[in-house]
Structure 1
Amino acid sequence: MKQIGYAVIFLMFVIIFIPLVLVKGCSQSSTQPKTKKAEETQLTIKVYITEEDKVVEMNFNEYLKGVVAAEMPASFHIEALKAQAVAARTYVYHRLINNEKNGIDVPEHKGADICTNPAHCKAWISKKKALEKWGLLSSGKYWDKINKAVDETTDMIITYEHEPIDAVFHSTSSGRTENSEEVWANTIPYLRSVISEGEEASPKFTSKLEITLTEFKEKLSSVRPEIKFEGNPGDFIEKFEKTEGGSIKTIRIGGCDFKGTEIRKIFELNSANFTITIDNDKVVFNVKGNGHGVGMSQYGANYLAQQGKYYEEILKHYYKDVEIVKMSEELNAKIKN
């Protein structure tokens, strides 16, 4: 009888106690993702969607996915896309903090924090339009990559001396990026000229513009009425000076001095890294690179990723002496306010 009693107790233990332990263990493990998700909850941001003339409030990470999808080819290496996500996140935070600090109310934002006009802020595309652009064969795969790039770098930003940097970027350098003061007014310590390999993969690494000599004269005269086109057209260009990155810093044409960036704007060139050839009635611009050339080159970033570099290494290559850190609670609070 004793043995039967022990057997009954053992069976009760197996039937009742062990399942309870297993159920408890399962329930504990199922709550862990919720805890993690709560820790990664992002602030919301008000975005003025320029094309639709409306302000929309959205989760910050969701906004960033639209920025990455619009600013960088989704076919790029995942580490390049991560670098783009962190650069874009930092760029926006830097702008929000500066606007708040200086009491700047940006009329182009129509009351929002940021806008989708790439000429003023950063480009942005909705998920729906991005999927339509990529087509049925690639849309799912590409959006998954964008999701991964943004979600796996949640809260990561680039800082210099504990402050978010002005993380500017461009499409394609000419093989070397530019110092900030060669393009804009200020010398910024983390925006230094660096070698950028692999740019030849960009479809806009080189470009060419041919115009008539008459059009060349008219466009320059509209900006500098005092310019003089005398003598041999081959002598119109008197001298020029280059930047460390190889672009035209200043150029003298017909007795007038122009900045390379000014010539780029006048003739709508892809970059300020150009040569000018005047032959009889024809003027030819041969251009290298695409964009202002400061900060991270997107095609250069993709090349580094293909060579096995992680996004942190890519960012530290293009932005000098910076740290890649998780956004602090203090900074998060500063953004929300």
Structure 2
Amino acid sequence: MTRKTQKLALAVLLALFLIVTAGCSWFRRAPEKAPLPESREDEKKQQVAIPDPINRGARREPVLKVFMADKGRIETMKFEDYIQGVVAAEMDPEWPQEALAAQAIIARSFTLQKIAEDGGVPARKAHASTDIKEFQAYDASRINDNVRKAVNGSRGQVAVYGNEFIRGWFHAYAGPRTALATEGLEYKGPNPPYIRIVDSPAEDTIPEEEKNWRVSYPLNRIRAVTREITGKDPGAVEKVEIADKGPSGRATRLRVNNVEVSCPELRLALDSTKMRSTYLTSLKIENGQLVMEGSGYGHGVGMCQWGARGLAEKGKSAEEIVRYYYRNIEIVRLWE
């Protein structure tokens, strides 16, 4: 082979090599872009799911079967429509929108937790009930634009701890401070880690008639109720005193003569709209009556509604209000 022929052969081989290597690129799959890392908010959203009984698919608003106590029948409604009626019934519709939005977050959390744990209200074959003894209050007639804006602005938002919906306990007014579940509700399990004692931000703004209360009961009624709760007859009542207090200062047990009785149970038996709380400031026997004085309205656990109003008036957002009352929780949006 001549030198000229060799050069020609090398040139042909080089050309063929370039064609083949270029052709391979025509069939080579383009590199895929790596997925963007999920945001912390997205990660949190995936930690909880809409309970199966009402799950219509991810990011879709559930539909509820609600037992209407006043009508004695079940009605079907969108979740957010139900929440509007709850917020309007449980809080003054004219209060600041951020307080109402905080109530909406807690109402959603309460509802979802009950459905996840108990299926809602199985006795009614419903997801919720308008009977306050069974679930939450509900009054669609009180819904106004203020409520609609508050609920729509917090649409789909719930409070969670870990992978579970929180127990959305709330009450009208805490008095000087909120309570642990084990004292205010006599909750039988360990106190949920997100329930804590905080000072009431409403102490200086709540009207006096809402702040403190006073009520009297005939001594024979105190005797009868004590016997009913404990199964022990204390005899003719001569002395009533606080036997034990919880960390917030609430009475957890009273001593009627020599018989101890649960204070939360006694409150329910005596009418919780009159004996408004277990935060007692005075117990006296006068003219055959037990005279009680105290502060607060409700069990004192979780969010204080008057406190939520006070925080909203100070410029706090709904999320900030909820986080004030519930420790180390996350607020996530389950549907748009």
Whole-Å Cα distance in 2 between the matches of residues 105 and 222 of structure 1?
Answer: 28
Whole-Å Cα distance in 2 between the matches of residues 282 and 77 of structure 1?
Answer: 41
Task: Pick from 43, 58, 62 the counterpart of residue 81 of structure 2.
Answer: 62
Q: Is the 8 A contact 1:206 1:286 kept in 2?
A: yes
Q: Is the 8 A contact 2:121 2:127 kept in 1?
A: no
Given the superposition, is the C-alpha separation of residues 99 and 216 from structure 1 closer, same or farther in structure 2, using an over 3 Å criterion? closer
Q: Is the 8 A contact 1:250 1:259 kept in 2?
A: yes
Whole-Å Cα distance in 2 between the matches of residues 159 and 239 of structure 1?
Answer: 36
- The amino acid across from 1:286 in the alignment is E
Q: Is the 8 A contact 1:40 1:154 kept in 2?
A: no
Given the superposition, is the C-alpha separation of residues 228 and 54 from structure 1 closer, same or farther in structure 2, using an over 3 Å criterion? closer
Q: Is the 8 A contact 1:47 1:114 kept in 2?
A: yes
Deviation at 1:58, TM superposition (A): 0.8
Residues 1:264 and 2:267 aligned together: yes
Partner of 1:124: 138
Partner of 1:153: 154
Percent of residue pairs identical = 28
**4+ residue stretches of structure 1 with deviation over 6 A?**
none
Deviation at 1:93, TM superposition (A): 0.9
Q: Is the 8 A contact 1:271 1:292 kept in 2?
A: yes
Q: Is the 8 A contact 2:229 2:265 kept in 1?
A: no
Partner of 2:221: 215
Residues 1:253 and 2:256 aligned together: yes
Partner of 2:128: 114
Partner of 1:297: 304
TM (norm. structure 2) is 0.74
TM (norm. structure 1) is 0.74
Q: Is the 8 A contact 1:206 1:289 kept in 2?
A: yes
Deviation at 1:205, TM superposition (A): 2.1
Q: Is the 8 A contact 2:242 2:251 kept in 1?
A: no
Partner of 2:206: 201
- Secondary structure at the counterpart of residue 210 of structure 2: coil
Whole-Å Cα distance in 1 between the matches of residues 321 and 299 of structure 2?
Answer: 19
Deviation at 1:222, TM superposition (A): 4.1
Whole-Å Cα distance in 2 between the matches of residues 166 and 246 of structure 1?
Answer: 22
Residues 1:179 and 2:180 aligned together: yes
Question: How many residue pairs align between the two structures?
Answer: 270
Whole-Å Cα distance in 2 between the matches of residues 259 and 60 of structure 1?
Answer: 37
- Secondary structure at the counterpart of residue 175 of structure 2: coil
Task: Pick from 83, 93, 98 the counterpart of residue 102 of structure 2.
Answer: 83
Task: Pick from 318, 324, 334 the counterpart of residue 317 of structure 1.
Answer: 324
- The amino acid across from 1:253 in the alignment is V
Q: Is the 8 A contact 1:173 1:205 kept in 2?
A: no
Q: Is the 8 A contact 1:181 1:188 kept in 2?
A: no
Whole-Å Cα distance in 1 between the matches of residues 84 and 335 of structure 2?
Answer: 21
Q: Is the 8 A contact 2:87 2:147 kept in 1?
A: yes
Given the superposition, is the C-alpha separation of residues 152 and 225 from structure 1 closer, same or farther in structure 2, using an over 3 Å criterion? closer
Worse-superposed segment, 244-253 or 60-69 = 244-253
Of structures 1 and 2, the larger Rg is shown by 2
Higher helix share: 1
Whole-Å Cα distance in 2 between the matches of residues 228 and 168 of structure 1?
Answer: 34
Given the superposition, is the C-alpha separation of residues 328 and 145 from structure 1 closer, same or farther in structure 2, using an over 3 Å criterion? closer
Whole-Å Cα distance in 2 between the matches of residues 305 and 291 of structure 1?
Answer: 21
Whole-Å Cα distance in 2 between the matches of residues 289 and 229 of structure 1?
Answer: 30
Deviation at 1:294, TM superposition (A): 0.5
**What is the alpha-carbon root mean square deviation over aligned residues?**
2.3
Deviation at 1:159, TM superposition (A): 0.8
Q: Deviations over 1:39-78 (max 9, x none)?
A: 9862211111111011111111111100000000012111
